[in-house]
A and B are shown apart, each in its own frame.
Chain A
Amino acid sequence: MTSLLHQRDAVLHRPRRLRGVVTALQTALVILATLIGLAAITFAIGRFLPTDPVIAAVGDHASAQLYQETRLAMGLDRPIPLQFLAYLDRLIHGDLGQSLLTGQPVTSDLASFFPATFELSTAALLIGLAIGVPLGVIAAARQGRLTDHLIRVVSLTGYSVPVFWFGLVGLVFLYVKLGLVPGPGRIDVAYEYAIEPKTGLILVDTLLAGNWEAFLDAAHHLLLPAAILGYYSAACISRMTRAFMIDALHHEFITTARVKGMSTASVLWSHALPSVAGPLITVIALAYASLLEGAVLTETVFAWPGLGLYITNALFNADLNAVLGGTLMVGSAFLLLNMATEVLQKRLDPRGQHP
Chain B
Amino acid sequence: MLVQSSLLLKRLGLATATVVALLAEPGAEAKTPADTLVIAENIDDIISFDPAEVYEPTAGEIINNAYDRLFTYKPGDYSKLIGDVAESWTTSDDGLTYVLKVRSGLKFQSGNPVTAADVAFSLQRVILLNKTPAFILTQLGWTPDNVKQQVTATDANTVQLKLSTAFAPSFVLNVLSSSVASVVDQKEALKHEAKNDFGYDWLKTHSAGSGPFHIVAWKPKESAVLEANAAYDRGKLNLKRIIYRHIPESSTQALQLQKGDIDIARDLSADQIKSLSGDSNITVQGASKVNILYLGLNQKYEPLTKPAVREAIRWLVDYQGLSDNVFKGHWRPHQTVIGSGLAGALDDVPFKLDVAKAKQLLAAAGYPNGFDLEIDTPNSSPYTEIAQSIQSTFTQAGIRVKLIQADQKQVYTKVRARGHQTVIGFWSPDYLDPHSTVEWFASNPDNSDQSTHRTSAWRNSWDIPDLTKATAAALLERDADKRQAEYIDIQKKLQADSPFVVLFQETEQAATGKSVQGLILGPSWDTPAYWQVSK
- Pick the contact of B412: A52, A100, A134 (CB < 8 A): A52
In chain A, positions 288-336 with a C-beta closer than 8 Å to chain B are 300-303, 305, 309-310, 313, 316-318
The answer to the question of B477 belonging to the interface, with a C-beta cut-off of 8 Å to chain A, is no
Binary interface encoding of chain B residues 7-28 relative to chain A, with 1 for a CB under 8 A from any of its CBs, else 0: 0110010000000100110111
- Pick the contact of B26: A62, A180, A188 (CB < 8 A): A180
- Asked whether A64 and B249 contact (CB < 8 A) given A50-B406, A182-B28, the answer is no
- Asked whether A172 and B132 contact (CB < 8 A) given A55-B413, A100-B47, the answer is no
Binary interface encoding of chain A residues 87-106 relative to chain B, with 1 for a CB under 8 A from any of its CBs, else 0: 00000000000001111100
Residues of the A chain whose Cβ atoms lie less than 8 Å from the Cβ of B407:
51, 316
Residues of the A chain whose Cβ atoms lie less than 8 Å from the Cβ of B216:
193
Residues of the A chain whose Cβ atoms lie less than 8 Å from the Cβ of B4:
263-265
Binary interface encoding of chain B residues 416-437 relative to chain A, with 1 for a CB under 8 A from any of its CBs, else 0: 1000000000000010000000
The answer to the question of A171 belonging to the interface, with a C-beta cut-off of 8 Å to chain B, is yes
Min CB gap A249→B, angstroms? 13
Q: Which residue of B lies closest to A219 (CB)?
A: B23
In chain B, positions 444-490 with a C-beta closer than 8 Å to chain A are 451-454
Decide: B27 and A301 in contact? CB cutoff 8 A: no
In chain A, positions 207-236 with a C-beta closer than 8 Å to chain B are 216-217, 219-220, 223
Decide: A265 and B416 in contact? CB cutoff 8 A: no
The answer to the question of A247 belonging to the interface, with a C-beta cut-off of 8 Å to chain B, is no
Residues of the A chain whose Cβ atoms lie less than 8 Å from the Cβ of B135:
61-63, 66
The answer to the question of B283 belonging to the interface, with a C-beta cut-off of 8 Å to chain A, is no
Residues of the B chain whose Cβ atoms lie less than 8 Å from the Cβ of A313:
44, 221
Min CB gap A155→B, angstroms? 15
In chain B, positions 127-175 with a C-beta closer than 8 Å to chain A are 130, 132, 134-135, 138
Residues of the A chain whose Cβ atoms lie less than 8 Å from the Cβ of B414:
50
Q: Which residue of B lies closest to A222 (CB)?
A: B23
Decide: A171 and B255 in contact? CB cutoff 8 A: yes
Decide: A220 and B30 in contact? CB cutoff 8 A: no
Decide: A55 and B221 in contact? CB cutoff 8 A: no
Interface size on A, residues (CB 8 A): 67
Residues of the A chain whose Cβ atoms lie less than 8 Å from the Cβ of B222:
185-186, 192, 305
The answer to the question of B256 belonging to the interface, with a C-beta cut-off of 8 Å to chain A, is yes
Min CB gap A272→B, angstroms? 13
The answer to the question of A281 belonging to the interface, with a C-beta cut-off of 8 Å to chain B, is no
User: In the complex, A59 Cα to B59 Cα: how many Å?
Assistant: 14
User: In the complex, A261 Cα to B135 Cα: how many Å?
Assistant: 86
User: In the complex, A186 Cα to B245 Cα: how many Å?
Assistant: 11
Q: Which residue of A lies closest to B136 (CB)?
A: A61
The answer to the question of B509 belonging to the interface, with a C-beta cut-off of 8 Å to chain A, is no
Decide: A103 and B452 in contact? CB cutoff 8 A: no
The answer to the question of A113 belonging to the interface, with a C-beta cut-off of 8 Å to chain B, is yes
Q: Which residue of A lies closest to B22 (CB)?
A: A216
The answer to the question of A178 belonging to the interface, with a C-beta cut-off of 8 Å to chain B, is yes
User: In the complex, A52 Cα to B256 Cα: how many Å?
Assistant: 36
The answer to the question of A46 belonging to the interface, with a C-beta cut-off of 8 Å to chain B, is no
Decide: A112 and B409 in contact? CB cutoff 8 A: no
- Pick the contact of A223: B23, B138, B261, B454 (CB < 8 A): B23
The answer to the question of A204 belonging to the interface, with a C-beta cut-off of 8 Å to chain B, is no
The answer to the question of A142 belonging to the interface, with a C-beta cut-off of 8 Å to chain B, is yes
In chain A, positions 154-210 with a C-beta closer than 8 Å to chain B are 168, 171-172, 175-176, 178-186, 188-190, 192-193
The answer to the question of A119 belonging to the interface, with a C-beta cut-off of 8 Å to chain B, is no
- Pick the contact of A189: B138, B243, B408, B454 (CB < 8 A): B243
Min CB gap A73→B, angstroms? 12
Decide: A310 and B221 in contact? CB cutoff 8 A: yes
Decide: B259 and A176 in contact? CB cutoff 8 A: yes
Q: Which residue of A lies closest to B15 (CB)?
A: A130
Q: Which residue of A lies closest to B243 (CB)?
A: A189
Decide: B220 and A183 in contact? CB cutoff 8 A: no
The answer to the question of B107 belonging to the interface, with a C-beta cut-off of 8 Å to chain A, is no
Residues of the B chain whose Cβ atoms lie less than 8 Å from the Cβ of A183:
29, 252, 255-256, 259, 261
Residues of the B chain whose Cβ atoms lie less than 8 Å from the Cβ of A180:
24, 26
User: In the complex, A190 Cα to B249 Cα: how many Å?
Assistant: 22
User: In the complex, A64 Cα to B138 Cα: how many Å?
Assistant: 13
Q: Which residue of A lies closest to B21 (CB)?
A: A180
Q: Which residue of B lies closest to A297 (CB)?
A: B249
Q: Which residue of A lies closest to B459 (CB)?
A: A60
- Pick the contact of A113: B23, B204, B221 (CB < 8 A): B221
The answer to the question of A246 belonging to the interface, with a C-beta cut-off of 8 Å to chain B, is no
- Pick the contact of B24: A103, A181, A318 (CB < 8 A): A181
- Asked whether A302 and B29 contact (CB < 8 A) given A60-B412, A102-B220, the answer is no
The answer to the question of A3 belonging to the interface, with a C-beta cut-off of 8 Å to chain B, is no
In chain A, positions 73-124 with a C-beta closer than 8 Å to chain B are 100-104, 109, 112-113
Q: Which residue of A lies closest to B428 (CB)?
A: A61
User: In the complex, A188 Cα to B44 Cα: how many Å?
Assistant: 20
Decide: A51 and B259 in contact? CB cutoff 8 A: no
Residues of the B chain whose Cβ atoms lie less than 8 Å from the Cβ of A65:
452
- Asked whether A301 and B252 contact (CB < 8 A) given A109-B220, A179-B26, the answer is yes
Q: Which residue of B lies closest to A137 (CB)?
A: B5
Residues of the A chain whose Cβ atoms lie less than 8 Å from the Cβ of B247:
184-185, 303
The answer to the question of A138 belonging to the interface, with a C-beta cut-off of 8 Å to chain B, is yes
Residues of the A chain whose Cβ atoms lie less than 8 Å from the Cβ of B12:
130-131, 134
Decide: A64 and B255 in contact? CB cutoff 8 A: no
- Pick the contact of B204: A61, A103, A193 (CB < 8 A): A103
In chain B, positions 215-269 with a C-beta closer than 8 Å to chain A are 216-217, 219-223, 225, 243, 245-249, 251-252, 255-256, 258-259, 261
Binary interface encoding of chain A residues 252-283 relative to chain B, with 1 for a CB under 8 A from any of its CBs, else 0: 00000000000111001000000000000000
Min CB gap B40→A, angstroms? 9
- Pick the contact of B1: A50, A63, A182, A265 (CB < 8 A): A265
The answer to the question of A286 belonging to the interface, with a C-beta cut-off of 8 Å to chain B, is no
Q: Which residue of B lies closest to A168 (CB)?
A: B251
Residues of the A chain whose Cβ atoms lie less than 8 Å from the Cβ of B249:
168, 184, 300-301, 303
The answer to the question of A56 belonging to the interface, with a C-beta cut-off of 8 Å to chain B, is yes
Q: Which residue of B lies closest to A224 (CB)?
A: B24
User: In the complex, A134 Cα to B5 Cα: how many Å?
Assistant: 9
User: In the complex, A351 Cα to B416 Cα: how many Å?
Assistant: 62
In chain B, positions 357-415 with a C-beta closer than 8 Å to chain A are 406-410, 412-414
Q: Which residue of B lies closest to A68 (CB)?
A: B452
In chain B, positions 42-56 with a C-beta closer than 8 Å to chain A are 44, 47-48, 55
The answer to the question of B32 belonging to the interface, with a C-beta cut-off of 8 Å to chain A, is yes
Apart from A101-B44, A305-B219, 12 more pairs, CB < 8 Å:
A55-B409, A63-B452, A102-B221, A142-B5, A168-B249, A176-B259, A184-B247, A185-B222, A190-B30, A220-B23, A265-B4, A303-B252
**Across the A-B interface, the 7 shortest Cβ-Cβ residue pairs:** A264-B1, A64-B452, A102-B220, A103-B47, A190-B30, A179-B26, A52-B413
- The 6 sampled A-B contact pairs (Cβ below 8 Å) are A51-B409, A52-B409, A55-B412, A101-B220, A265-B1, A265-B8
B contacts, CB < 8 Å to A: 1, 4-5, 8-9, 12, 20, 23-24, 26-30, 32, 38, 44, 47-48, 55, 130, 132, 134-135, 138, 204, 216-217, 219-223, 225, 243, 245-249, 251-252, 255-256, 258-259, 261, 406-410, 412-414, 416, 430, 451-454
A contacts, CB < 8 Å to B: 50-52, 55-56, 58-66, 100-104, 109, 112-113, 130-131, 134, 138, 141-142, 168, 171-172, 175-176, 178-186, 188-190, 192-193, 216-217, 219-220, 223, 263-265, 268, 300-303, 305, 309-310, 313, 316-318
